[in-house]
Amino acid sequence: MKASRKDSAKTRQNLLAAASEVFVERGYRNATVAEICKRAGANNAAVNYHFGDKETLYREAWRHSFAESMKAHPPDGGVSESAPVEERLRGRIKAILNRSADQNNKDFLILHAEMTNPTGLLREIMRAEMEPLREKMLELVREMCL
């Protein structure tokens, strides 16, 4: 049974990685579940099993890509919270620039595609994930102005 759960988790991860690539390349509307499953090495029923539908897969692929991006480029830029405000702000700006310049950063590419050809499917999830980052940036700017 353990191997089955492990295989299921691996299939889910493979689907998320493949979906991120396909959504970046084709956009949400032109991406197909069949192509995603083929790239993931999974059968077509795997998307329904793990995500329910293409919309949920799209949201989860962005969320997965966003989490990977945050690991690769921590939002604080590696700067200590006890550092001077200018240094903390510089670290955050550097992290944003590094994320946007990273060719492997699928969440930024999906976000860009969403902005140019909006589906509306990511609006709430992006707000939930990105609003705290925006608030932290504004907090640092306010702190600098005091």
Q: How many residues does the chain have?
A: 146
Domains and CATH numbers, the chain: 2-145 (1.10.357.10)
Q: Tens of pLDDT along 35-89?
A: 999 999 999 999 999 999 999 999 999 999 999 999 999 999 999 999 999 999 9
- Looking at residues 121-125, what average pLDDT do you find? 87
Average pLDDT score, the chain: 92
SS3 state of residue 6: helix
**SS3 readout for 100-114:** HHCCCCHHHHHHHHH
The pLDDT confidence band at residue 1, using thresholds 50, 70 and 90, is: very low
Residue-wise pLDDT tens digits, 50-63: 999 999 999 999 99
CA geometry: angle 107, 112, 115, nearest 5 deg: 125
The pair of three-digit structure tokens given for residue 3, joined into one six-digit string: 């191997």
Q: Which residue has the higher pLDDT, 123 or 38?
A: 38
CA atoms of 67 and 57, how far apart (whole Å): 15
Torsions phi, psi of 116, nearest 5? -85, -30
pLDDT at position 95 is 95
- Mean pLDDT of the region 113-134: 88
Task: Put residue 63 in one of left, alpha, beta given phi > 0 → left and psi -120 to 50 → alpha.
Answer: alpha
Distance from C-alpha of 61 to C-alpha of 27, rounded to nearest angstrom = 12
Read off the pTM.
0.86
